[in-house]
Structure 1
Amino acid sequence: MLERLWSMSQDTTIYVVGGAVRDAVLNKKTHDYDILLPEPGFLAHLASVSRALGLEPYALNLEHKLWRYQRSSAVIDVAPCGEGLEKNLRHRDFTVNSMALKLSDYLQGDLTQLIDPCQGRADLSRRELSPSSSSALRDDPIRVLRAARFMGELGLTPTLELNRQAESAAVALRQTPGERVWNELYQVTNCSNAPELYDWLDNVGALAAILPELEAEKGIEQNQYHSFCVYEHSRRAFAAYLNLWERSTFLSPNLQDKVRAELQGMDPRLQAICRLGALVHDIGKPKAKSFKDDGRVTFYRHEQVGAEMIPHIAQRLRLSGLESKALARFVRWHTYLAQLARQPRLNEGHLHRVARRLGTYSVPIALFNIADLLGKGEDMTDDTSFEQMTTAVSRYLHAWYYQHDEVIYPTLPINGAELSVQLGLPPGRWLNDMLSYLGEQAAMGRVQDRDCAIKLAREYYRRMPR
């Protein structure tokens, strides 16, 4: 879209600034542009931009006169140059984002005219991320999370000055609007090196500010089946989980392809929710911790306790209803398949039962069972439970993709209302339990027709506790 402003730039000084210039230096393509227009007559210049683009802008921030034009995936943010270009650049977040080019030079790819008062190009060549001023992160604490994102997306290393400012500004993230926090955090979570980025956020104190539930896990020792405290286990399981997203070698090649396609096809924010679920899966353990008579530690019902904590996280981060429910489901049922995997024989009825609990997030939650196991010790692939778990996950995913109508969600020949009439009972909780039971029986091929379903229902009802 910028090409449409070429003729306008002959009479008006237009600067391209920020990420678009950084990407030009890195020889990367972008569809996201920031431009500065002269302060005198800004609204008249904005009207000229609208005519040139054939679009109307919408306000992002009226106080700072920040406007946005958008067409498909292309975005142009427009602001006045204010008190001067150099001062504007020095007030930006990081040196690599504090460079500018005149629009004509940018369109011609002429980097010899680069305006770079903060030496951002030199930092890029050193692969370093540094704040553009001594107060950059204090001015806007969200830049702590943005720093982690740029470290992940651009492969940059934080300077000592960035670390110092991040440590000082991190506590202010507690007062930062949750929408802004999650908007940065979900992008950090989706970076390929997210575990390292979260470690950095932990080291500078940002993780404790935005997810204090994880801070509470530190130092909580576990039972004999775990080599690490709860927090160390969580971060290791998180790292293992992200590796499994890319390479699940324990699966058959066909299943690997299907799993990879499904995970990569998820909405980016829901991808991040599942990954975040892997990190916070055990947040209920500190509250659920207790001891048996023989002194052994137990975390009975920690999954349910953790799921009950999710609404507080969702409110803090201003997650959508869908995101909140997905995160709660992940935490609540993250061990369910692992528990059933210990059955002497995992049958189709068990697989159906798993599907009813994991729902549409079956694939990411099932996959996490492997990561959860890998996070227990140094080399769990040699443990006998690893083969048991990978076999169970493979069986479940095979059913999910190849036996969906027969095992995962079989169609019953009778519905709840008809069952209620046949048994002469009013609708109630018993009906949901009954339908779950019939679903399991159907998954095992034991429901041939309507009469068979009614017979099984009567037998099950007689066994139900009164």
Structure 2
Amino acid sequence: MEIGKIIIESLKRDDTHKTFIELDEKHELEKIIPKINCMKSVGECKYHVVNCFEHSINALRELEVVLNNKDFFPIHLREHVSNYLNTCIEDGINKLHALKLGIFLHDIGKPDSMTLDETGRVHFTNHEKIGAQIVDNMGIELDLSTETYRLISKYVRYHMTLLSLYKKNDLSRKELINIFNLVNEDTIGVILLGYADIVSTIKLLDKREEVSVLKTYMEYILTNYLYKSNYTHV
């Protein structure tokens, strides 16, 4: 089976991250996603203790841990999250598959956005925008539809949404309206990606106590999105 098809099929497994690791060890993954080599050389900074590639694998693993735990989401969210993830995009591909790939690619823009300030500190300004453009330009390497690539690009573009709200400690109605209007029907996917991204980072920084706080943020945002439909129409 060709590498592209192996990648697509691996997205349908419960342990996609393991297949990605195996493909990388065989230098197969880079044939489809050449930027992987660049991702391995950048990413370590004040907030990250591993490179972009390792972090992306960790984030993907974190998502799979969440989804393999049937009791992770409170009961009022479970069915909504499941319905969203099982939404079909194209034949054999649903939003969960796109989200997994989006999580793996969420920092693909960091190599092209890296700068150093006068103190030597590393910055990755606008890496989410650059990453989204890279995904847009990936073409048909994985033989996915334009709609699927567009969704993956959307995940990458807005993957810092939850982190931004968390840092500002602002879950006001105004902030939530802005987010819901921005990512609309993909609020669940964007927030899930943000959760997996942040948790995979803070666990390595020995800040596990923040995980429960972040989970509360995520649940609050999703609850408001699902049960306050007027937010999306302001």
TM-score (normalised: structure 1): 0.46
1:253 aligns with 2:55: no
Per the alignment, residue 311 of structure 1 pairs with 136
8 Å CA contact 2:128–2:157 kept in 1: the answer is: yes
Measured in 1, the distance between the counterparts of 2:68 and 2:103 equals 15
Q: Map of 1:31-430 to 2, 5 A cutoff? A: 143-145=1-3, 181=4, 183-247=5-69, 251-267=73-89, 268-270=92-94, 271-378=96-203, 382-383=207-208, 385-404=210-229, 406-407=230-231, 409-410=232-233
Residue type at the aligned position of 1:294:
T
What is the RMSD of the two structures over their aligned residues, measured on CA atoms? 2.2
Residue type at the aligned position of 2:12:
N
Per the alignment, residue 115 of structure 1 pairs with none
Measured in 1, the distance between the counterparts of 2:25 and 2:129 equals 29
Q: Aligned to 2:50, what secondary structure does the other structure show?
A: coil
Residue type at the aligned position of 1:386:
V
8 Å CA contact 2:202–2:210 kept in 1: the answer is: no
Measured in 2, the distance between the counterparts of 1:324 and 1:287 equals 20
Residue type at the aligned position of 1:303:
E
Measured in 2, the distance between the counterparts of 1:375 and 1:288 equals 22
Pair 343,221 (structure 1): closer, same or farther in 2 beyond 3 Å: closer
Higher helix fraction (1 or 2): 2
- Structure 1 residue 258, shift from structure 2 partner: 2.6
Measured in 1, the distance between the counterparts of 2:171 and 2:28 equals 43
Report the structure number with the largest CA radius of gyration: 1
- Structure 1 residue 289, shift from structure 2 partner: 0.6
- Structure 1 residue 384, shift from structure 2 partner: 5.2
Measured in 1, the distance between the counterparts of 2:38 and 2:120 equals 22
Measured in 1, the distance between the counterparts of 2:75 and 2:173 equals 22
Residue type at the aligned position of 1:276:
L
Residue type at the aligned position of 1:399:
N
Measured in 2, the distance between the counterparts of 1:380 and 1:402 equals 34
Measured in 1, the distance between the counterparts of 2:207 and 2:43 equals 23
Pair 225,384 (structure 1): closer, same or farther in 2 beyond 3 Å: farther
Measured in 2, the distance between the counterparts of 1:235 and 1:254 equals 29
Deviations 1:204-236 (A, max 9, x none): 111010111122101314212212111111110
- Structure 1 residue 377, shift from structure 2 partner: 4.8
Measured in 2, the distance between the counterparts of 1:263 and 1:336 equals 19
Q: Map of 1:416-455 to 2, 5 A cutoff? A: 439=234
- Structure 1 residue 320, shift from structure 2 partner: 1.6
- Structure 1 residue 388, shift from structure 2 partner: 3.9
Measured in 2, the distance between the counterparts of 1:238 and 1:296 equals 27
Name structure 2 gaps, 5 residues minimum.
Answer: none
Deviations 1:350-394 (A, max 9, x none): 112112222322112211111101221545684454344222211
8 Å CA contact 2:8–2:142 kept in 1: the answer is: no
8 Å CA contact 2:99–2:193 kept in 1: the answer is: no
8 Å CA contact 2:49–2:205 kept in 1: the answer is: no
Measured in 2, the distance between the counterparts of 1:248 and 1:214 equals 32
Measured in 2, the distance between the counterparts of 1:219 and 1:357 equals 32
Pair 378,319 (structure 1): closer, same or farther in 2 beyond 3 Å: same
Q: Which has the higher contact order (CA 8 A, sep 6+)?
A: 2
8 Å CA contact 1:244–1:367 kept in 2: the answer is: no
Name structure 1 gaps, 5 residues minimum.
Answer: 1-142, 146-180, 411-438, 440-466
Measured in 1, the distance between the counterparts of 2:74 and 2:128 equals 30
TM-score (normalised: structure 2): 0.89
Measured in 1, the distance between the counterparts of 2:205 and 2:73 equals 17
Q: Aligned to 1:222, what secondary structure does the other structure show?
A: coil
- Structure 1 residue 244, shift from structure 2 partner: 1.9
Residue type at the aligned position of 2:175:
H
- Structure 1 residue 250, shift from structure 2 partner: 5.4
Pair 337,374 (structure 1): closer, same or farther in 2 beyond 3 Å: closer
